[in-house]
């Protein structure tokens, strides 16, 4: 027993000898409680371990402990930030356990990405879906003296009273993940440029700034005498978030003298 008692004292870390009145008090514990707020979802874990919230959202830690909490948003959620006895928007935060503490973690839902074109037939007018420069290109076909291919509205790229040398329209969209994939559209070309003279205009369809379909010698032999239906392969961009851009321009010093109308844009799995 003479050997056993000192060993037991080490294990218990607190055997007072005779006359030793200053023995350490047992370490105080504080509770850390994590609550989750918001319409999104996510998980909060602690280091040292103890909280995995999830379902295990409270744990006791020794007085003075530094506890690091880490928030991980679930799919289609965002971590917004910490509240209660913590603050900030970084995924990790450190809490010093000087007392019982409650920390909230807020998660928001990420709105699902719009798949496909918005206002591809332009029937929602010039204010929806498309950024247009230098002014609205989506207009009532009747105001231009033509019929729309679909509905009432079309987009027209060409000269204007402002003596523009270019006009463009773009939209950021997420494409469906299926292949093959096509952009189907109706096109009407009317050019007054003479093909023997290099004052051609240039009209193109660009994805992420790269020309996918382009006519850089637009002149009067290309006139379509009305709407024609065409399709452009965009399979290589399937499933991606991309920028669609249509642009007409004339070379420096030479005005635009071509009009290109487009209408009834549609993302399709068939050409
Ligand atoms: Ca239309
Ligand atoms: Ca020109």
pLDDT digits (tens, 9 = 90+) for 62-83: 999 999 999 999 988 999 999 9
* Inter-residue contact 167 to 133 (CB < 8 Å): yes
Determine the pLDDT at residue 115: 84
More confident residue, 199 or 32: 32
Q: 12: pLDDT confidence band, cut at 50, 70 and 90? A: very low
> Which ligand approaches the C-alpha of residue 123 most closely?
1
**Contacts (Cβ under 8 Å, ≥6 apart) of 127:** none
pLDDT for residue 103 is more than 70: yes
Q: How does pLDDT run across 209-220, given as a tens digit for each residue?
A: 999 999 999 999
Determine the pLDDT at residue 246: 98
Distance in Å, CA 255 to ligand 2 centroid: 5
> Which ligand approaches the C-alpha of residue 155 most closely?
1
Distance in Å, CA 184 to ligand 1 centroid: 13
Determine the pLDDT at residue 7: 44
> Which ligand approaches the C-alpha of residue 147 most closely?
1
Instruction: Specify which residues 88 forms β-bridges with.
Output: 82
In Å, how far are 186, 240, 242, 262, 264 from 237, measured between CA atoms? 21, 6, 8, 21, 20
Q: 110: pLDDT confidence band, cut at 50, 70 and 90? A: confident
Determine the pLDDT at residue 252: 73
Distance in Å, CA 228 to ligand 2 centroid: 22
Distance in Å, CA 234 to ligand 1 centroid: 21
Distance in Å, CA 122 to ligand 1 centroid: 5
In Å, how far are 5, 70, 135 from 103, measured between CA atoms? 44, 12, 51
- In 3D space, the residue among 76, 74, 75 whose CA is nearest the CA of residue 36 turns out to be 74
Q: What is the mean pLDDT of residues 175-189?
A: 96
Report domain extents, the chain.
29-109, 131-268
Q: 198: pLDDT confidence band, cut at 50, 70 and 90? A: confident
pLDDT for residue 245 is more than 60: yes
pLDDT for residue 23 is more than 80: no
> Which ligand approaches the C-alpha of residue 262 most closely?
1
Distance in Å, CA 97 to ligand 2 centroid: 73
Where does 131-268 sit in CATH, by number? 2.60.120.260
**pTM of the predicted model as reported, rounded to 2 decimal places:** 0.64
d(CA 37, CA 54): 13
Compute the half-sphere exposure of residue 179: CA atoms within 13 Å on the CB side of its CA. 8
Determine the pLDDT at residue 8: 44
Distance in Å, CA 253 to ligand 2 centroid: 9
Q: 4: pLDDT confidence band, cut at 50, 70 and 90? A: very low
More confident residue, 224 or 20: 224
Determine the pLDDT at residue 113: 67
Q: How does pLDDT run across 115-162, given as a tens digit for each residue?
A: 899 999 999 999 999 999 999 999 999 999 999 999 999 999 999 999
Determine the pLDDT at residue 111: 75
Distance in Å, CA 260 to ligand 2 centroid: 13
Distance in Å, CA 264 to ligand 1 centroid: 5
Distance in Å, CA 154 to ligand 1 centroid: 5
Distance in Å, CA 177 to ligand 1 centroid: 26
Distance in Å, CA 114 to ligand 1 centroid: 21
Q: How does pLDDT run across 246-270, given as a tens digit for each residue?
A: 999 998 788 999 999 999 999 999 9
pLDDT for residue 20 is more than 50: no
Distance in Å, CA 257 to ligand 1 centroid: 23
> Which ligand approaches the C-alpha of residue 227 most closely?
1
Distance in Å, CA 55 to ligand 1 centroid: 53
- In 3D space, the residue among 166, 167, 171 whose CA is nearest the CA of residue 121 turns out to be 171
- The percentage of residues in the chain with a pLDDT greater than 90, rounded to a whole number, is 85
pLDDT for residue 9 is more than 50: no
pLDDT, averaged across the chain: 91
Determine the pLDDT at residue 25: 59
């Amino acid at each position: 027993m003479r050997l056993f008692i000192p060993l037991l004292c080490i294990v218990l870390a607190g055997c007072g000898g005779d006359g030793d009145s200053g023995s350490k008090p047992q370490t105080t514990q504080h509770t850390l409680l994590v609550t989750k707020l918001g319409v999104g979802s996510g998980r909060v874990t602690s280091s040292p371990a103890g909280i995995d919230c999830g379902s295990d959202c409270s744990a006791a830690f020794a007085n003075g402990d530094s506890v690091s909490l880490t928030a991980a948003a679930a799919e289609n959620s965002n971590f917004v930030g910490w509240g209660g006895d913590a603050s900030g928007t970084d995924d990790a935060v450190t809490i010093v356990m000087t007392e019982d503490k409650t920390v909230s973690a807020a998660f928001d839902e990420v709105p699902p990405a719009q798949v496909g074109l918005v206002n591809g037939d332009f029937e929602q007018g010039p204010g929806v879906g498309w950024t247009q420069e230098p002014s609205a290109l989506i207009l009532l076909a009747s105001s231009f003296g033509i019929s729309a291919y679909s509905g009432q509205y079309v987009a027209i790229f060409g000269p204007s009273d402002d003596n523009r040398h270019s006009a463009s329209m773009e939209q950021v969209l997420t494409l469906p993940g299926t292949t093959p994939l096509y952009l189907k559209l109706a096109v009407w070309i009317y050019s007054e440029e003479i093909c023997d003279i290099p004052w051609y205009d240039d009209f193109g369809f660009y994805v992420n700034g790269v020309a996918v379909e382009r006519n850089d010698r637009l002149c009067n032999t290309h006139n379509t005498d009305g709407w024609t239906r065409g399709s452009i392969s965009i399979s290589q961009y399937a499933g991606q978030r991309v920028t669609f851009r249509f642009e007409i321009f004339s070379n420096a010093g030479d005005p635009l003298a071509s009009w290109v109308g487009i209408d009834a844009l549609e993302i399709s799995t068939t050409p």
